[in-house]
Structure 1
Amino acid sequence: MAVHPSTLEASTEESARTGRIASIDALRGLVMVLMLLDHLRETWFLHVSVADPVDARTALPALYLARLAVSLCAPVFVVLTGVAAYLFSTRHTPAETRAYLVKRGLVLMALEVFYLSELYWGVASPTLWLQVIWCIGVCMIVLAALIGLPRPVLVAVGLLIVCGHNLLDPIQLQPDQPLFPVWAMLHQRDVIVLPFGLVAKTTYPVFPWIGVIVLGFALGPWFLPGIATRTRERRFAMLGCAMLVAFALLRLGNGYGDKPWFVVDGSALRTGMSFFALTKYPPALLFLLLTLGIGALLLVVLERMGDRPVVAALAVFGGAPLFFYLLHLTVLRLLYHGAFAIWGATQGTVFAVADYTWVLVWYAALIAPLYFPTAWFSRLKASRRDIAWLKYL
């Protein structure tokens, strides 16, 4: 992998050799950098409820806008995971691809349970947070079972899940019902009581995300070396625009695809906030149409930007996304516990800043320090292909 590609358009030789396309890394890097902002909010704004940070009636506009921006992160990352799985499959046998997806999926699930969850135990009760890394791990394992299907079937399965899963919203099981744990992991964001005083929170019910990763795998052929860059750009521009038009039509109809939006008397701003206040857990159809539509257009923009420094820098973050994810969450937890040890609770029972502006200050201050170790690991991963375990990070 070229950490600093001289051009964003991957050559036929480079794409065939490494399977990496710089525009994919740049888009993935962009959403990783946006993710940092949301995790900083969770670190320094713990006293602000995160139950619904896009509640049009109560959310701070600045917090709402930041949350709206970071809504791109999970959908774009999951669909690109599917694309990356397809590119991996072009250089490996089906059996090797399945084995890699299963192993990588298990690694991600283990990291969520045995490392990432524990980072928050100092500020919350012992909880297994089954969040995005867990979700991606499960999706990769499911994808491993589906990759042998014909591409039209994969498209049909992905669309059926993404477009139809909201029909399952009325199904709400109670903890005493036999299938509750399974349904809570698949489609109902809830809490599962575990032995030894532990609980598991299914923050990312996985069923809709399976549809997203399957569609990403089905999009993979658009990135083959034989597809001209302009052809790919045209396809993604059309796809992105079509998704945004579908979002607008469905949202204006205020029917299927998410909870209804509403008019806030005397506030055009909050009425607009209501229109774009979409459900992420699990991701509603309208949420996915908006975020993935924007993601498709961003990919076109990044490809056309060429080898500008900002694009190359984003590609570094996107070239080692799991390393960056683990690194920045670890740094944020250390910073939080250090601040709590020095100053104690400043907002209720937690250390937190009173003004969201400080979250933005921390955001600007941390990007560069996190860039350099990520770049180092990206170079290590590229140069030491003889170390097998590196590919799982």
Structure 2
Amino acid sequence: MTNEPMPSSRIASIDIMRGLVIILMMLDHVRERFYMHVRTGDPIADTIEPDLFFTRILTHFCAPIFIFLAGLSAWLYAHAKEGEFRSPSRFLFTRGLVIILIELVLYYLVWADSFPKYLFLQVLWAIGLCMIALSVACRFNYWVIGALGFLIVLGHNFLVPIDFEPGDLAYIPWAILHDGGELGQVGPLTVSLSYPSLPWFGVILLGYFAGPLFAQSTKALTRQRMLVGIGVACLVLLLTLRGFNIYGETLPWEVQDTGIETVMSFINFTKYPPSLDYILFTLGFGLPLLAWFESVKKQNSVLDLMQTFGSIPMFIYVLHLYVLLAAYWVLFLIFGPTQDERYGLDSVLWIWIGAGALVLIHYPIAKAFAAYKHREKRNKPWLSFF
């Protein structure tokens, strides 16, 4: 670890971390596109084989880390120069609306062939809503923001028993905030929400609250130690709450017939909505990893790839979904349906091979677009949305 102040340019460790999230998303979307014949469930079904289970667990890190970094990036936007503040409200509000629009239009079109009668509101919907909410909350006192973030993340599992039936006045607001589910019909489409926004709002608030760790006045060694310390504290709290089945997860873990099955039971957390244990687990490992990325003294090709992806995350996110859609139909036309009515892979290994190929295909495109964005962003502000 070094003890140098932060440079004034883009923070490489954040881009690298965001790039890792994009790669894990690619892995998950290969699974969703080509392995739909095996449903994982939430929490993950106990009948799932270990290779698929741990593949799915790895992709659990995507949403909490990405949303935490979104909050952190909002603080950095507000404090672009030491000692000066610019309100991020307009930036957050407009970006949130654009992300929701991408969810409603581009993301729906990607999956319209699989779910023609459903409009699923998923991670982009949650990120967009959280950004819009943060555009208001960022005006609060800094310590109020932190307290509210901790209160939501630590306390939202107490809200699990609250339930409303379709038709109740509070059903739709509560579904959007905490429970998810079907919201109703819009023409021929059934609108279904799988990413309730309240817990994610807590995560983005904590990301904003963590912003001063990345201030130019904060030494790198101090920041790295804090990130590692917070991560370890998350994991210690997780081991305590989960180990004794005290709080933080609705599904208790149990000792199984084998060690690997016991581990699977222990880390089988609820994602929709994200339980406290889920958030502690993902951020508990993610924050020390963020510190480690900063401490790496010599850049290599892998980190360069991750940093490139992380500097243009929305562009790569949208692009790879359409590449996967095209790849699916090409393979379907060549091989026909291999899993019931769909084309599907026959092993988890092929999910990893497909994700690796997807990463390699996108890297030169990402490199070119990143160079274009960073060269033209002052003249073309719309590039900031990518």
- Give the TM bin, normalised by the shorter chain: over 0.9
Task: Give the equivalent residue in structure 2 for 1:199.
Answer: 190
Deviation at 1:265, TM superposition (A): 4.4
Q: Report the CA distance between 1:104 and its aligned residue.
A: 0.3
Tell me the TM-score normalized by structure 1.
Answer: 0.93
- Paired amino acid for 1:58: T
- Aligned match of 2:152: 161
SS in structure 1 opposite 2:119?
strand
- Out of 75, 84, 94, the residue aligned to residue 73 of structure 2 is 84
In the alignment, which of 215, 218, 221 is matched to residue 227 of structure 1? 218
Give me the TM-score of the superposition, normalised by structure 2: 0.94
Asked if 1:115 is matched to 2:103, the reply is: no
CA distance in 2, matches of 1:381, 1:336: 29
Q: How far has the Cα of 1:283 moved from its partner?
A: 0.5
Give the alignment of 1:1-393 within 5 angstroms: 12=6, 14-15=7-8, 18=9, 20-52=10-42, 54-55=44-45, 57-91=46-80, 96-263=87-254, 265-309=256-300, 310-384=302-376, 385-393=378-386
CA-to-aligned-CA distance 1:287-310 (integer Å, 9 cap, x gap) = 001100101110111111123212
* Residues 146 and 378 of structure 1: CA distance in aligned 2, closer, same or farther (over 3 Å): same
CA distance in 1, matches of 2:186, 2:23: 37
Structure 2 residue runs of 5 or longer lacking an equivalent are none
State the shift of 1:53 in Å: 6.8
Alpha-carbon separation, structure 1, partners of 2:122 and 2:135? 20
Q: Which amino acid aligns with 1:205?
A: P
Unmatched segments (≥5 aa) in structure 1: 1-7
Q: CA deviation at 1:143?
A: 0.2
Separation in 2, partners of 1:9, 1:352: 50
> Contact 1:9–1:306 (CA<8 Å) still a contact in 2?
no
Identity %: 36
Q: Cα gap change, 1:87/1:9 in structure 2, threshold over 3 Å: closer, same or farther?
A: farther
1:326-384 deviation line (CA, Å, top 9, x unaligned): 01111111111222233322111211012122112212222111111112111111111
The whole-number CA distance in structure 2 between the counterparts of 1:143 and 1:265 is: 42
Contact 1:54–1:273 (CA<8 Å) still a contact in 2? Answer: no
From the superposition, tell whether residues 265 and 87 of structure 1 become closer, same or farther in structure 2 (CA, over 3 Å): closer
* Equivalent residues, number: 382
Cα pair 2:42 2:272 within 8 Å, conserved: no
* Structure 1 residue identity aligned to 2:74: A
Give the structure 2 partner of residue 4 of structure 1: none
